[in-house]
Amino acid sequence: MLSPERLALPDYEYLAQRHVLTYMEDAVCQLLENKEDISQYGIARFFTEYFNSVCQGTHILFREFSFIQATPHNRASFLRAFWRCFRTVGKNGDLLTMKEYHCLLQLLCPDFPLELTQKAARIVLMDDAMDCLMSFSDFLFAFQIQFYYSEFLDSVAAIYQDLLSGKNPNTVIVPTSSSGQHRQRPALGEASMLEGVEAALFYQRLESLCDRHKYSCPPPAFVKEVLSNVQRLTFYGFLVALSKHHGINQALGALPDKGDLMHDPAMDEELERLLAQVPGLVNPVTGSPEASSLPSRTTPRVGSPWRPLHHTRKMDAESDGSTEETDESET
């Protein structure tokens, strides 16, 4: 904890690096917004809850995009939440359009911008036929790269453009036939057009970018790995390679490996439990068993001091109807 590097940083830099202030501000803001509700059960509890959820990664659910984008941890949490919630869609084998994925994203974040999804789709589709259907895993990994490293990627794009147009006097772009492209479709006019940039040169520039970049960027070692495999590559080829790289994925830590993408035993269990209650869904009265599943999960957190039923102001103080259900199911 008291590692020398940590103590070596001056205060503000340390705080900034860990984004502590973001969370503090957000916590205080949330407190302000819901002060009537929270004041009932104590501020200390609130802060505990809040930072617990930050640790667990559930704090970004249904929050506005500016918050989700604020810190790398938020972004990673969001990715993970998206994966967990919609893994079933992928498991079902449905291929969806970019717009539909965007819709799913919006379910979790109402004002998620379309551009990001579009960019992610472009990675998958190699900037071609934007209406094409994409599989869940393809999209998810591409989206991960795009979202988590979005600023980095912007800079990379700029560098790429520079290199392509030969602005850097050091560059000598030798037209060769394309090779080692991570393309999924035959490229257009391979022989005639200039294909991508030289990998080595590209890497040099990227390295210097990584050093001075204040936003997160992929571990340089992995970038080097990606770039060392090929002679030349295009921008999207590079991105696709990044998205498919296991090491980067693991370094991010948000999503499991591609092979395990569909596996989540805990959630599957939960799902089975929910499904078992579906026949009862026909009759809304018996829909309560679903709600009763809540208390079983939430009892560890919903202790007695939490009961918002003490709210006398709100008459529809179900807030969490589960508490009511608990009573009913217990009797």
Partner 1 sequence: MLPGKYRAVSGRAASNVNCGLHLVIQTSSLPDRNKVEFRLSKETPSFSGRLLQHDLERNYSSRQGEHSSLVSSSMPAFPILHRSTEEKILCSDRLTLERQKLTVCPIIDGEEHLRLLNFQHNFITRIQNISNLQRLIFLDLYDNQIEEISGLSTLRSLRVLLLGKNRIKKISNLENLKSLDVLDLHGNQITRIENVNHLSDLRVLNLARNLLSHVDSLSGLDSLTELNLRHNHITFVRDVDALPSLQRLFLSFNNICSFDSVCCLAQCSSLSDISFDGNPIAQEPWYKHTVLQNMAQLRQLDTKRVTEEERRVASVVAKKEEEKRRESQKQSLLKEKKQLAIRNIARQWEQLQQRRGSEATGPERPGSPSAAQDVSQAQGSGPAFPEEPGSPDAPPGPALADTHLVEVDGDTLSLYGAGALECLDRSWSTQTAGTVTTVCFTFIEFDDIVQVLPKLRMKFPNSLHLKFKETKLVMLQQFNALAQLRRIDQLTVDPQGNPVVSFTLWKYYVLFRLSHFSMQKINGTEVTQNDMIMAERLFGILAHVASSELPQYRLISILGDARKKQFRYLLDAKGKRPGLVSEDASDSRRLLTENTNRATLNYSTRDFFNERLEEIREKKQLCRAYTEGLVQEAAGIHTKAEALQRLWPQMFIELVRDAVVDIRSKDAFMKLSLQHIAQQK
Residue 46 CB, nearest approach to partner 1 (Å): 6
192 or 312: CB nearest partner 1: 312
329 sits near partner 1 (criterion: CB under 8 A)? no
CA atoms within 13 A on the CB side of 102: 17
Burial class, 303, CB count within 10 angstroms (exposed 0-12 / middle 13-18 / buried 19+): exposed
Residue type, 172: V
Q: Which of residues 60-89 bind partner 1 (CB under 8 A)?
A: 61-62, 64, 81, 84-89
275 sits near partner 1 (criterion: CB under 8 A)? yes
220 sits near partner 1 (criterion: CB under 8 A)? no
Contact stretch for partner 1 (CB under 8 A) within 150-158, 167-175, 237-245, 263-271: 263-271
269 sits near partner 1 (criterion: CB under 8 A)? no
- Judged by CB under 8 A, the residue of 8, 32, 172, 188 near partner 1 is 32
Contact stretch for partner 1 (CB under 8 A) within 20-28, 118-126, 151-159, 179-187: 20-28
Q: What is the 3-state secondary structure (H, E, C) of 98-129?
A: HHHHHHHHHHHCCCCCHHHHHHHHHHHHCCCC
8 Å CB contact between 112 and 65: yes
Residue 110 CB, nearest approach to partner 1 (Å): 6
| DSSP H helical ranges for 234-304 | 235-244, 246-252, 265-276, 288-298
Q: Which of residues 141-180 bind partner 1 (CB under 8 A)?
A: none
41 or 203: CB nearest partner 1: 41
Nearest Cα residue to 131 out of 89, 92, 101, 86: 101
